[in-house]
Homo-oligomer: A and B are copies of this chain.
Amino acid sequence: MPKIVDHEVQRAELLDRAFELFADNGYRATSMRTLAAGLGVSTGTLYHYFGGKEDIFEKMVIRVSQRDVSAATAAIPPDADRALRLQLVFAWICANATYLQRMLLLIFDFQRHRSDDEATVLIQQAAQLYRSALEQQVGEAGPAWSLVLGMLVQGLLEPGIADTEQHLAGLQALLRT
């Protein structure tokens, strides 16, 4: 069934580019017209490939979060010890901090728009995916995971205040336990 393959390929391409558009202005403020224009298709086409705005967003989140996890763990040598893994993961987070912050804001924006269980589940799944990836590298994270999230959030609230070195040291302290 080649048509279905094309369908999937086309959907995947649209989703990849959809993140930037959503992230620029948030879920609510990104209209279907804006989305269609930015993707170079018509609104009708979007409704042909997807069930609607929410559907696009949900599929996009799943796709993007999976891609992120792969990217973050790709550069870690299989034989690295726990300390090194932490350093590499932390470095990846810092390098992609802006991106991750946008993702976080985007998810909160979506949560606002749709507060059913379905949306909650989507967000939980995405969050768990990221968290599990971290725990696969450094073991049970607990407060360490909160520290990572908090560092990103503080960057949103008071940009430029957070001290990266201190946060790495904090992470190491939390995980030494």
The interface of chain A, by Cβ under 8 A from chain B, is 2, 25-26, 28-29, 44, 104-105, 107-109, 111-113, 120, 123-124, 127-128, 131, 142-151, 153-154, 156-159, 162-163, 166-167, 169-171, 173-174, 177
Bound complex: CA A28 to CA B27 (Å) = 11
Q: How many copies does the complex hold?
A: 4
Contact present for A147 and B143 (CB under 8 Å): yes
Chain B min CB distance to A41 (Å): 13
**Are A124 and B174 in contact (CB-based, < 8 A)?**
no
A49 to chain B, nearest CB (A): 14
A145 CA to B153 CA in the complex, in Å? Answer: 10
CA distance A29 to B26 in the complex (A): 14
